[in-house]
Amino acid sequence: MKPILECRGLTKKYGSTFALYNLNIALERGQIIGLLGPNGSGKTTLIKLANGLLRPSGGQILINGSEPGVETKKIVSYLPDRNYLGKHMRVDEIMAYYNTFYDNFSLERASGMLDALSIDPRARLSSLSKGTLEKVQLILVMSREADLYILDEPIGGVDPAARDYILHTILTNYNENATVLISTHLISDIENVLDHVIFLKSGQLVLNASVDEIRTQHRKSVDALFREVFKC
Amino acid sequence: MPWELDNDRPIYLQLMERIQHDIISGVYKPGDKIPSVRDLALDAAVNPNTMQKALSELERNGLVYSQRTSGRFITDDEELLKNMKMQLATEHIRQFFEQMHQLGFSDDETLQMIQETLRREKQ
């Protein structure tokens, strides 16, 4: 089986600066992978390339063997790092919108999660707090039966209790063959749910290892290793 | 409730220890069926693959066995369970003595203190 996401010599330049340089990685299926790196290390650039929002300056990025496009968007469920929803809509309207747009969206699953987080389906998005809006976006993304979930900073704006619920949501909703790629700064909060971590530094790969390999080898948590590698 | 896990040791090892502990403390009885990997992973708030690894290791040690269709069970080999209990007890004692050494107490002094403490508590 082809890797669900593969980068071959992937390079992205903005003007004369390299946001990513000669990146080679392949993500396996059925894993939860942390995409970690300091600000400006290229995480969001990589994610945008995977979703076809940017084009590579060199090399290739392949989703299930194909370049990002209509077919790959069917199997990738993407949570951007900013709000992209029309604020005038109500929660149930946006759910219905997603349900029409994506074949693999489960309205039932979405309603269940709204209930669990006591979010009123009739509320207008413009009336929601920042944290609640983030929860709604995550619900939309996790209610799809996708092969690859790409979550850009999914837990940044929510309180610790909601963070636990979100991690629980991710664990319950991805199926055994799906891969979840999560970019975040809050490593210690999510370390226990990750299989694998990828460290990016100035657009280059510095580490690609499993969480328990890191703990066995360095006798410290991924969070502690991150602080060491990226010490300012 | 997520399980309490240390930061500096492999997660699967800690999951194994926790399950062993649950077996000894009677949360699981010999021959009991244990929850599915997924349910255990959710309960512990850890990655299902990591939980899978922990269970496979326990299976290798013989503490847990799986039946193809019906799931995983705690062994009913009392001898094996007794050995595991002794092993864990020995480990605790070893760690205790190590800590006492760090505080500057010899083995004899430590033993004496244990006896005194027991005597005082009985009074």
CB-nearest to A215 from B10, B41, B44 is B10
Tens digit of pLDDT for each residue in A182-202?
998 888 889 999 999 999 999
Q: What is residue A232's predicted lDDT score, i.e. its pLDDT?
A: 80
Structure token digits, residue B50: 């990591």
Residues of chain B contacting A223 with CB distance shorter than 8 Å: 7
DSSP chain A: ---SEEEEEEEEEETTEEEEEEEEEEEPTT-EEEEE--TTSSHHHHHHHHTTSS--SEEEEEETTB-SSHHHHHHEEEE-SS--S-TTSBHHHHHHHHHHH-TTB-HHHHHHHHHHTT--TTSBGGGS-HHHHHHHHHHHHHTB--SEEEEESTTTTS-HHHHHHHHHHHHHHS-TT-EEEEE-S-HHHHGGG-SEEEEEETTEEEEEEEHHHHHHHHSS-HHHHHHHHT--
Length of chain A (residues): 232
Tens digit of pLDDT for each residue in A24-60?
999 999 999 999 999 889 999 999 999 999 999 999 9
B57 CB contacts (<8 Å, ≥6 apart)? Answer: B12, B16
CATH code of B11-76, in short, is: 1.10.10.10
Domain positions in chain B: 11-76, 79-122
Domain positions in chain A: 5-229
Question: Which of B4, B7, B16 to probe the A interface (max A CBs under 10 A)?
Answer: B7
A156: exposed, middle or buried (Cβ count in 10 Å: 0-12, 13-18, 19+): middle
Cβ pairs bridging A and B (under 8 Å): 53
What is the CA angle A133-A138-A142, rounded to 5? 155
**Closest chain B CA to residue A218:** B8
Closest CA to A19 of A66, A76, A59: A59
Tens digit of pLDDT for each residue in A2-23?
899 999 999 999 999 999 999 9
Contact B8 A30 (CB under 8 A): no
Contact B50 A188 (CB under 8 A): no
The answer to whether the CB of A155 falls within 8 A of the CB of A180 is no
> Alpha-carbon distance A183 to A17, whole Å?
22
- Residue B1, pLDDT > 70, answer no
Q: Does B45 touch chain A (CB under 8 A)?
A: yes
ipTM of the complex: 0.81
Question: Which fold would CATH assign to domain A5-229?
Answer: Rossmann fold (3.40.50)
